[in-house]
């Protein structure tokens, strides 16, 4: 595989993005496919420091500041991690990317999505995922998961915006998926186990990239 593949996972808080990203990465690695898993905001030392500012700062940033910080972290991440890995021919799996900023800071927070798109293009040099898995969950289901997690590790600043904000985020994601149906794979996880969702992801991945060198175990789904 000469050219790398860029996969992203998106969804509201509590939708299972981290779990599914890790499961796909583990399966590809087991098949001998060069794979890198990363996340946003974050992925580099500098970008992780910006993540802390965005999620746990004592002072709420102004909307413009928040968007600019996401763009800064993303520019560092793409330049230092994602593009080099793609150039090596790896499958790069990223939990959240530009669609998150559009859904959260754009549609849900009421900022101009077109301006955010322009900033994303500048920050990434025009990089667009080859395939995006959108894990769709009703906000009340996701919120229950967030509350369970928060009891163990606390709540970040974005999660603290509450259930109604998550509903706006979800609607933003659905608008994005409808506009780019070829790139998005919409998956409903409310009535499926994580293993069932993973299998759907695996099948879609192989359909989209049939040239990936996986063995009979991978294609058989067992």
> Which of 23, 6, 32 minimizes the C-alpha distance to 202?
23
For the entire predicted model, the pTM comes to 0.89
**In this structure, what token pair is assigned to residue 169?**
């985020």
Which tens digit of pLDDT belongs to each residue from 99-153?
999 999 999 999 999 999 999 999 999 999 999 999 998 877 766 666 665 555 5
CA distance 221 to 200: 10
Render 83-129 in DSSP notation, one character per residue: HHHHHTTPEEEEES-HHHHIIIIIIITT--HHHHHHHHHHHHTT---
CA distance 219 to 207: 10
5-210 CATH? 3.40.50.300
- Residue 137: strand, helix, or coil: coil
> Which of 49, 55, 47, 52 minimizes the C-alpha distance to 124?
47
Average pLDDT over residues 27-33: 97
Roughly how many angstroms between the first and final C-alpha of the chain, as a whole number? 24
Which tens digit of pLDDT belongs to each residue from 45-60?
999 999 999 988 788 8
E strand or H helix that includes residue 168:
helix 163-179
């Amino acid at each position: 595989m000469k050219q790398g593949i860029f996969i992203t996972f998106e969804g509201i808080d509590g939708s299972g993005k981290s779990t599914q990203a890790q499961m796909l990465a583990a399966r590809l690695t087991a098949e001998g496919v060069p794979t890198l898993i990363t996340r946003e905001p974050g992925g580099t030392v500098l970008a992780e420091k910006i993540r802390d500012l965005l999620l746990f700062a004592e002072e709420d940033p102004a909307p413009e500041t928040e968007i600019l910080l996401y763009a800064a972290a993303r520019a560092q991440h793409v330049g230092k991690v994602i593009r080099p890995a793609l150039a090596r021919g790896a499958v790069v799996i990223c939990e959240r990317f530009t669609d998150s900023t559009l859904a959260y800071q754009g549609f849900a927070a009421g900022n101009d999505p077109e301006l955010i798109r322009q900033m994303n293009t500048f920050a990434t040099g025009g990089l667009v995922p080859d395939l995006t898995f959108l894990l769709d969950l009703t906000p009340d289901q996701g919120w229950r998961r967030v509350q369970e997690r928060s009891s163990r590790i606390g709540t970040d600043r974005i999660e603290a915006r509450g259930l109604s904000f998550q509903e706006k985020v979800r609607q933003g994601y659905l608008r994005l998926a409808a506009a780019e149906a070829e790139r998005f794979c919409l998956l409903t996880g409310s009535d499926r186990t994580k293993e069932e969702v993973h299998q759907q992801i695996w099948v879609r991945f192989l359909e989209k990239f049939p040239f990936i060198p996986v063995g009979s175990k991978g294609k058989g789904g067992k």
